[in-house]
Structure 1
């Protein structure tokens, strides 16, 4: 690599390239580092007992003295949800728009990080200097207000970090994407564009948020009984439409779910939501009114087990209940990985006699992310020399890269990267030149309670194959078996129905111990390991399963 390339800007995706969530991008020039976004991801089905997933920030901890600040582009959890986890290890100034930081405060307070947070509110017309990086901000339309893209002026050229966006011509809050700023940057000359790939597989333009209003209105008009609405608590443009419809149809709004209550309160206090006086009621008061006089607005669009809508669906909610003939509207995209939990929730709702509408059977949701034509428009406005697709699974990144070629960006100037890639950017080069530590930190309970991968593996094995506990008592002098072995099975086989299998397993254990040397018999750990090995081999042969074997050896 040439000296010129070595003197360039280093770009490191810590998270968000290869998955949905964990968005975090690092930009470094010399001894100056800035970080854009600090997202989290919710656990996948193969992560039993895990509550939250954060990006591994080992690289940033090793370079903490170089970090000048962190910029949060908007208040969705996949961009801001990991901020407390970050701050508890690296405390640097935080920059974000008014609503973004206001919503972030709640999560920071919950995890005891608000007191140390250095929060700096920025507006789209502001500029910020962090080390050698000069930042300007571009307002972009998204499903939550106050979202910005970031133009990063570096010693080697301009980088546009586009964040999440779409080109909504009739946004709910009447704030358009600042196309003129993007075009002006394109005129100056943009060296690199990093852009959201979420909907790189969807043709056309993403419809306006307002486009679903007539269909939502039709649901309100046709529903004479109870009406339950579920969406993301951060989808504030959707929430505003629900509020407007409730006013038009003379329904009070009972809000369920802590995050929904907090976000509506914060956004209305700051003027980002227009909430008429006395339209909101405590969800505990909903039963005081006739069903046609109230609409329930709840969290739980992804079927999260303890969310408001999931509890309502199973009739486990303390005071909100579905009656036959009620309508439930799930106004959100089903995030990949959540299909099963959403399907279970819908089945429970149907058992209660509800009429259920969702994105696959009604026009009641529209994405906040640009589709293929939006993505092309962003590239044509900015006209970058180099391009890196971000924010999505690998297939999304590849499809976005193909779009870049369609609009005329040379394939040699497109880099499809993954988490941990060390990308070098100079005026004449953009490509991967190494790797840095990257991955996932799994959290069980408190955010400082990490879960090692081996623990998750053990949980997966227990969930799939169960466990067997053989208990044997040995003579302390001779090492001979004096009692047992007894067998305890949990999640593997039913003891009463597998007596022959367990009796044979006992004989296997006795035979294994008897064939150990006197010296080995005296070492408890050696005996335990021998029992574990022979039983795992035996159970695999007999049942084609590998239960976890936890031998207990006692001596008398």
Structure 2
């Protein structure tokens, strides 16, 4: 080989060795910020390159250990950090576990929100309540709409649920569609528009990359019963009631409310609506045509005494025994307009949410003590779930035929049960991913693997304010709930350390003050004696006196009553 050729060969070889390998295309990332291993706070994300689609933004209610907490919502810090990628929030339907976190999302991000007509109506009312409507960009979508972005596009298919305008959401990606079912069941005699089976089949025929599907009823056999069956049961139960009827259900169960209206029409009863959320849904439902009430049928609750008992129907919130709901206040005698009389019938039309059984049973007992005849699930079937049972879920899997499957919306055992169903329909176990909140699934054209987790967790809402999880806060509120509080008020001369007034003791949730006057007087005397001795021995120091008050009072109450309440000293220095 001559010198020139050799030089050329070396140059070519060097160029080949320096050439960078072709980069592989990025994955579609799928993850949940809420809704996995739990019932509630649903929030799911599909992300590709510089685009991110959010599906739902819900809340869940706290259990008994979280005293003083109103709601729990997802940690949205990942979304805040990647706000430049967000194309929009797309909502499957209008239940609180899918829309309840929207006001708190909008406090941190300004993003467009898309939903069906009723869903956006409910979101609008919620944002008005939080005074956020002016900064919200709301879009109503319909089942044939499509939103196209640079890399992703979003379209929809109608499903059947316990609320109108429930949709499955399809996110088209470069590797194929990602399908989110929303909450669904297959009801072939629905109260509203039927599910669009042909569109589901069309989406499935395109070759679905990944399916995220509702797992709530994955442990229940068969198909979920039709809403039509419940409508008949409601009518029959109304016919058997001779006095007033109080009907309690979820305010958002619009189909059920229309069934109640129709049964009331056949039984010639007027309807009074109680409960802020129930009144709101009735108003929005009537405006959109989902609730159809004849003129003159709705009456003010203050006027129910103008009608015979057998012509009155009261529709109210409180089917879960919520302490502040209308039915709970009626049961306890605390409602200003309605009291229970012997001969009244109370109908519970809902399934207990896990953890609410005790509150529901308490309400039932109070209603019965007041003389009411109470009809609930174990007596007559006046409720059916909006979530599909095992056969519904298998039918969805068979229609969509996904390459990869992610069970969502359920406690961990429900996700595992749904995985078993998917395997029965022919999806291999290595293509099914049971994930936790914050886990990511990186999906390529022909493979999928779990990736690096994103920031996730829970945010507590207390009195409208957001707080991250704090062990000390939860422990302190638990102590207050269990042991009560003792407030110690005194006035001190800051120069001499002399007690000028007090100490006076007020208690809440610890002992009943009227019955415990001698105990509290002894406590005041003991505290004053010990603090006075302390003032004689050393100079006054506020921090020392606060610590001493804690120590003396806790020791006194443990000795006297065997309990250690939370001590809150209030010292006024003059």
With the length of structure 1 as denominator, give the TM-score of the two structures. 0.88
**Cα deviations by residue, 1:137-186 (Å, 9 ceiling, x for unpaired):** 0100000111000111112221110110000010012x221122222222
1:314 paired to 2:310: no
CA drift at 1:112:
1.0
| Residue in 1 that maps onto 2:101 | 82
1:35 paired to 2:42: no
Cα distance in 1 for partners of 2:520, 2:295 equals 66
Cα distance in 1 for partners of 2:531, 2:71 equals 41
1:167 paired to 2:186: yes
1:121 paired to 2:160: no
Counterpart contact for 1:34–1:130, Cα < 8 Å:
no
Counterpart contact for 1:444–1:451, Cα < 8 Å:
no
Counterpart contact for 1:468–1:487, Cα < 8 Å:
no
SS at match of 2:364: helix
Q: Larger radius of gyration, structure 1 or 2?
A: 2
1:291 paired to 2:309: yes
Question: How do 1:135-534 residues align onto structure 2 when only pairs under 5 Å count?
Answer: 135-173=154-192, 175-445=193-463, 447-448=464-465, 450=467, 453=470, 454-467=472-485, 488=505, 490=507, 491-492=509-510, 496=518, 524-525=542-543, 528-529=546-547
Give the stretch that moved more between structures: 285-294 or 393-402. Answer: 393-402
1:15 paired to 2:15: no
**Cα deviations by residue, 1:190-244 (Å, 9 ceiling, x for unpaired):** 1111111111121111000011233222111111211111111111111111111
Aligned residues: 547
CA drift at 1:11:
2.0
SS at match of 1:435: coil
| Residue in 1 that maps onto 2:116 | 97
CA drift at 1:6:
8.0
**Cα deviations by residue, 1:478-533 (Å, 9 ceiling, x for unpaired):** 99x9999969574556574599999999999999x79x9x8xx7765467557757
Q: 1:101 to 1:510 in 2, by over 3 A?
A: same
Q: 1:87 to 1:533 in 2, by over 3 A?
A: same
SS at match of 1:329: strand
Cα distance in 2 for partners of 1:189, 1:18 equals 28
SS at match of 2:383: coil
Cα distance in 2 for partners of 1:88, 1:9 equals 28
Q: 1:530 to 1:59 in 2, by over 3 A?
A: farther
CA drift at 1:412:
1.8
Counterpart contact for 2:503–2:527, Cα < 8 Å:
no
| Residue in 2 that maps onto 1:110 | 129
Match of 2:69 among 22, 33, 50: 50
1:62 paired to 2:81: yes
Q: 1:524 to 1:352 in 2, by over 3 A?
A: closer
CA drift at 1:262:
2.2
**Cα deviations by residue, 1:429-471 (Å, 9 ceiling, x for unpaired):** 43432322222222222x3464763434322111112345678
Cα distance in 1 for partners of 2:487, 2:338 equals 44
Q: 1:414 to 1:219 in 2, by over 3 A?
A: same
Cα distance in 1 for partners of 2:559, 2:208 equals 62
Counterpart contact for 1:495–1:502, Cα < 8 Å:
no
CA drift at 1:274:
2.6
CA drift at 1:333:
1.4
Q: 1:424 to 1:554 in 2, by over 3 A?
A: same
Cα distance in 2 for partners of 1:157, 1:33 equals 16
**Cα deviations by residue, 1:236-259 (Å, 9 ceiling, x for unpaired):** 111111111111121121222222
Q: 1:427 to 1:18 in 2, by over 3 A?
A: same
Cα distance in 1 for partners of 2:569, 2:276 equals 45
Q: 1:510 to 1:342 in 2, by over 3 A?
A: same
Cα distance in 2 for partners of 1:547, 1:148 equals 51
SS at match of 1:28: strand
SS at match of 1:115: helix
Counterpart contact for 2:273–2:301, Cα < 8 Å:
yes
Counterpart contact for 2:50–2:85, Cα < 8 Å:
yes
| Residue in 1 that maps onto 2:17 | none
SS at match of 1:190: coil
Counterpart contact for 2:510–2:565, Cα < 8 Å:
yes
Give the stretch that moved more between structures: 243-252 or 497-506. Answer: 497-506
| Residue in 1 that maps onto 2:5 | none
Counterpart contact for 2:57–2:98, Cα < 8 Å:
yes
Give the stretch that moved more between structures: 92-101 or 36-45. Answer: 36-45
What is the Cα-based RMSD across aligned positions, in Å? 3.2
Cα distance in 1 for partners of 2:268, 2:571 equals 71
Q: 1:401 to 1:505 in 2, by over 3 A?
A: farther
